[in-house]
Structure 1
């Protein structure tokens, strides 16, 4: 399997997970159809599945066009059946979803929205975290509670440290400015920021990150309890 990062809209990322044996693919969170169609045409990809982490338009905007064009199957959380367009397969927390050579664990991670999930390709050590966990950040709490988001991040923290995390947006540089203000003596964070600046200067995506990196550098994952997490989230909202 290989992952192709597809920039969409202003700062979104969609991801193609491609089986290199036959070029079958899943797309995670197609914000818009055109960049994905362009890549598929150029590389002779067979789009089979559309995986949505949550219902926000900048994550599902390409669903209808891609499903119509490729007869792809749309997969999303069962409680968001009315909010995800063209949904075909309803999945739930801790479910193993397996089709063709794609095998995924579904993890329900509410907070940003009540129906947010992530897709954990455990064999390949890939986690698609949508807008719950960003590199050096976490999502705004729109529908859930501080407790929801804190518990969701703790679910992710319990996964193997060597997994690669693919998040929904290129927010890393801005997130890093907040993290270093809260944690100025963190040498791991200082080193990560140097790499982030270099990557952005060279027009290279700052994702994926590893869970190990995030646990060392992301102040939201380093919060010890809901109270300290809540304070950080409030400070970030006004940063």
Structure 2
């Protein structure tokens, strides 16, 4: 049985994800417990584990309530262990667990926070990126450096193009408006904006996103391209410097 992935809206614009395989059920991040419990109960599912991507409260606020109700294990990045709810297992880059479609690999993606990780299910064709790579954007660089974030995004960009990217927030419409200021003539981008606007008008989430589409439309994955460098007035600059300029523009957008 392939993975079943349920997108759970939480708080004002967060997402949690329930990932059910044949052997176990996990939640990726827990902004708040109520919506997650409601989705689990509606399907008659229990909960075996919570996988935390980073320490920000809007990704861990529901952990303790879920742990108390389901007696589930809590896993998260070792690099942020002192800032997280108590972990049953601390994870580092390259760690993996599970089998078949449930095989999950830990990818360190610092930048937004220093210990941020993503969870990649290579056989399930999904990566859970929280506030690193986002649909049409990337997270703010709060604790790390632009160089860290750029390297993190390059690692994610190297995954198979058909990979589905599950990010942590419903920021896509705003990200798309910014992307258009960088590449107004990008036809793939303009087509995607239409799709995003339609989805939001219907109250539908804009995640997951297909990585191949991100590579064609997300300015933070396109800083190496001559046309993007020219668009920001940095035709001869290093890729990471162009990325930093795009991130700075987005911060002011």
* Contact in 2 for aligned 1:2/1:17 (Cα 8 Å): yes
Q: Equivalent residues in 2 for 1:69-80 (5 A)?
A: 69-80=69-80
* Contact in 2 for aligned 1:78/1:90 (Cα 8 Å): yes
Please, what TM-score do these two structures have when normalized by structure 1?
0.97
| Cα distance, 1:97 vs structure 2 | 2.1
Q: Equivalent residues in 2 for 1:98-113 (5 A)?
A: 98=98, 102-113=102-113
| Cα distance, 1:236 vs structure 2 | 0.3
What is the aligned partner in structure 1 of residue 211 from structure 2? 211
- Give the SS at the match of 1:82: helix
* Contact in 2 for aligned 1:166/1:209 (Cα 8 Å): yes
What is the aligned partner in structure 2 of residue 232 from structure 1? 246
Query: CA 1:99–1:75 in 2, change beyond 3 Å: closer, same or farther?
Result: farther
Q: Supply the distance in 2 between the matched residues of 1:2 and 1:86 (Cα, whole angstroms).
A: 27
What is the aligned partner in structure 2 of residue 57 from structure 1? 57
Query: CA 1:32–1:79 in 2, change beyond 3 Å: closer, same or farther?
Result: same
Please, what TM-score do these two structures have when normalized by structure 2?
0.91
Q: Supply the distance in 1 between the matched residues of 2:130 and 2:10 (Cα, whole angstroms).
A: 14
Q: Equivalent residues in 2 for 1:26-175 (5 A)?
A: 26-98=26-98, 102-175=102-175
- Give the SS at the match of 1:46: coil
* Contact in 2 for aligned 1:25/1:48 (Cα 8 Å): yes
Q: Supply the distance in 1 between the matched residues of 2:79 and 2:111 (Cα, whole angstroms).
A: 14
Q: Supply the distance in 1 between the matched residues of 2:187 and 2:12 (Cα, whole angstroms).
A: 31
* Contact in 2 for aligned 1:12/1:168 (Cα 8 Å): yes
Residue 20 (structure 2) aligned to one of 11, 18, 21: 18
Q: Supply the distance in 2 between the matched residues of 1:58 and 1:182 (Cα, whole angstroms).
A: 29
Deviations, residues 26-52 of structure 1 (Å, cap 9, x unaligned): 001110001111111121112001000
Q: Supply the distance in 2 between the matched residues of 1:100 and 1:217 (Cα, whole angstroms).
A: 31
- Give the SS at the match of 1:5: strand
| Cα distance, 1:101 vs structure 2 | 6.6
* Contact in 2 for aligned 1:81/1:90 (Cα 8 Å): yes
* Contact in 1 for aligned 2:188/2:216 (Cα 8 Å): yes
In structure 2, list runs of 5 or more residues that go unmatched. 225-238
Structure with more strand by fraction: 1
Q: Supply the distance in 2 between the matched residues of 1:41 and 1:232 (Cα, whole angstroms).
A: 43
Deviates more, 1:37-46 or 1:100-109: 100-109
Q: Supply the distance in 1 between the matched residues of 2:160 and 2:99 (Cα, whole angstroms).
A: 24
Q: Supply the distance in 2 between the matched residues of 1:101 and 1:66 (Cα, whole angstroms).
A: 24
